[in-house]
Amino acid sequence: MKFAELGLSDDLLTAITKQGYEEATPIQEKTIPLILDGKDVIGQAQTGTGKTAAFGLPILQMLDENVMKPQALVVSPTRELAIQTQDEIFKLGRDKHVKVQAVFGGADIRRQINGLKHGAQVVVGTPGRLLDHINRGTVDLSNVKTLVLDEADEMLNMGFLDDIESILKAVPDKRQTLLFSATMPPAIKRIGVQFMKDPVHVQIEAKELTTDLVDQYYVKVRENEKFDTLTRILDVQNPELAIMFGRTKRRVDELTRGLELRGYNAAGIHGDLTQQKRSQVLKQFKNGEINILVATDVAARGLDVSGVDYVYNFDIPQDSESYVHRIGRTGRAGHTGTSVTFVTSAEMDYLKDIEKLTKKRMQPLKPATKEEAIAGRLAKVGSKVEKLADEANPALAEEEVNNLVNKYDAKTLAAALLGSVANIDDMDTPYSLSRERPLPRKRYGNGGGGNRRSGNGGGYRGGNRRDNGHGGGNRRSGNGGSDRRGNGGQSRRSRDFVIKNKD
């Protein structure tokens, strides 16, 4: 269904077009008319199905542009999702000049207070920091008409149920309440019964979680060795078209730069790019002018390119559904595909969660050696060297040619030519990535599943099929209030790591 059929205003339809969206997703199609009609809605759908626009667009349409106080409150489980939601609502509401403010732990609360004072009409925040603002009296919720609980089951898993109930009690009773959740445990149902008025339950059937056409591998590696490990695997696997996912915009920029320095044909897309630049990069990717597209989850939303044979998760996603969304970019239309996920010891529980969701165990992939990487590079340039030899004219530099022939044998000259064409010298170009704030430790289970695998097994079954057949933090951040479950606040260990420009 087209967005124009959902009762949205012309300025919002223009904003939707600018963002590159054409047709509404099922959750958008079913919930937007209900929200515009003033109904309380429980939306049950996977992550990555367009839930932010499903509630963001009706909120923007119902805003009174003359009231410079919060009229909508969105509660998100993590700072990353809060920032992502803020960005998307801001972009959709740019033509309406809507002011959106995100509040979360681990960041300067004074700057957030200043943003709230200057007329934020939509507030997006994590539970702990929202309660902090409520208790300080630095956020005025008296004009809130719409309350959104996003990823409600995730907030429940993180122990935020009491905080959510406190927030619900702090907003006006006369309001519209929207609850979005991938699953519907009893505690979430209780919120619906206790705090919502005759909610309409919209359930979108989960897509096929994984496909037998995608071979899934993981590489266990230290954080500071990830990039070198990645490039050697790329040399062995030699993807024709690959999509690589990084967690932040900064990561995407740095990965793209590093890949270019080491001789790969790569380009990146993220939320800071103009629509024109994004369209240009995607056109180059679809035409095969570049063969590695580096992207954030948000930037890759709606991306449908045929012929993608590899997906690389350079950063493992924080939620398992995002993994499913990522690897769905390959293994399409009956073609086989391969996914490779890089994971540190501290992230093994995230890998375990992915396997629970997909009901498929990933196979360990052994990092490639330098010798294997060199062999991979040389193997893929044979046709280029043959073309150069066919087109060569020895008479143009007869003296130099004779000197080389007299000095070296044919094998040495051929090896030198192969190495030059394969850019062997670029393989060791020094490059390091900025350190990213690590994912929070899981708060449940048996103390982390990091040691359940050796990480050294497996071979290159997922390798180059065409060539060589290789097969959380403190309860208080001390930073003017934080999310008390360690979600937003930073621990001593990660205090120096700051995530900026998140998608």
Residues 133, 33, single domain; the answer is: yes
Residues 294, 336, single domain; the answer is: yes
Least confident of 108-122, 343-357, 483-497: 483-497
Most confident residue range from 329-343, 415-429, 470-484: 329-343
pLDDT-based confidence at 334, cuts 50/70/90? Answer: low
pLDDT at 463: 45
- Whether pLDDT at 304 is above 80: no
330 within some domain = yes
- Whether pLDDT at 141 is above 80: yes
Residues 153, 293, single domain; the answer is: no
pLDDT at 424: 79
**Of 8, 56, 10, 48, which is closest to residue 26 (Cα–Cα)?**
48
- Whether pLDDT at 63 is above 70: yes
Using CA atoms, how far apart are residues 81 and 410, in angstroms rounded to an integer?
59
Q: Is 207 exposed, middle or buried (0-12, 13-18, 19+ CB in 10 A)?
A: middle
> In whole numbers, what is the pLDDT of the chain averaged over residues?
82
Domain that holds residue 160: 3-203
Cβ proximity of 270 and 295 under 8 Å: yes
Q: 144, 177, 203 — which closes off a domain? A: 203
pLDDT at 421: 64
Tokens of 11: 């300025």
pLDDT at 301: 61
Most confident residue range from 343-357, 379-393, 424-438, 465-479: 343-357
Q: 184, 203, 222 — which closes off a domain? A: 203
**Region 73-96 average pLDDT:** 90
- Whether pLDDT at 207 is above 50: yes
Residues 311, 442, single domain; the answer is: yes
pLDDT-based confidence at 294, cuts 50/70/90? Answer: very high
Three-state DSSP string of 37-73: CCCCEEEECCCCCCHHHHHHHHHHHHCCCCCCCCCEE
Q: 203, 225, 249 — which closes off a domain? A: 203
Using CA atoms, how far apart are residues 368 and 338, in angstroms rounded to an integer?
16
pLDDT at 48: 62
pLDDT at 454: 40
165 within some domain = yes
Residues 234, 363, single domain; the answer is: yes
Using CA atoms, how far apart are residues 181 and 179, in angstroms rounded to an integer?
7
Domain count, the chain: 2
Instruction: List pLDDT tens digits, range 353-364.
Output: 889 888 889 999
Residues 236, 199, single domain; the answer is: no
Instruction: List pLDDT tens digits, range 443-477.
Output: 544 333 434 444 444 444 444 443 333 333 333 33
List the beta bridge partners of residue 214: 337
409 within some domain = no
List the beta bridge partners of residue 294: 244, 268
399 within some domain = no
**Region 480-490 average pLDDT:** 39
- Whether pLDDT at 306 is above 90: no
83 within some domain = yes
Residues 193, 239, single domain; the answer is: no
134 within some domain = yes
The domain spanning residue 131 has which CATH number?
3.40.50.300
22 within some domain = yes
pLDDT at 62: 96
Q: Of all residues in the chain, what percent carry a pLDDT higher than 70?
A: 81
Residue type, 301: R
Cβ proximity of 382 and 348 under 8 Å: no
**Region 22-44 average pLDDT:** 92
294 within some domain = yes
Q: Where would I find the H helices in 238-319?
A: 249-261, 275-286
Residues 265, 336, single domain; the answer is: yes
Higher-pLDDT residue of 356 and 58 is: 58
Least confident of 322-326, 395-399, 467-471: 467-471
**Region 63-68 average pLDDT:** 93
Residues 158, 221, single domain; the answer is: no
Structure-derived torsion over alpha carbons of residues 218, 223, 226, 228, reported in degrees to the nearest 10: -150
Residues 281, 341, single domain; the answer is: yes
Three-state DSSP string of 129-158: HHHHHHHHCCCCCCCCCEEEECCHHHHHHC
DSSP type of residue 334: T
Residues 169, 258, single domain; the answer is: no
Instruction: List pLDDT tens digits, range 99-134.
Output: 999 999 878 899 999 999 988 999 999 999 999 999
Residues 18, 160, single domain; the answer is: yes
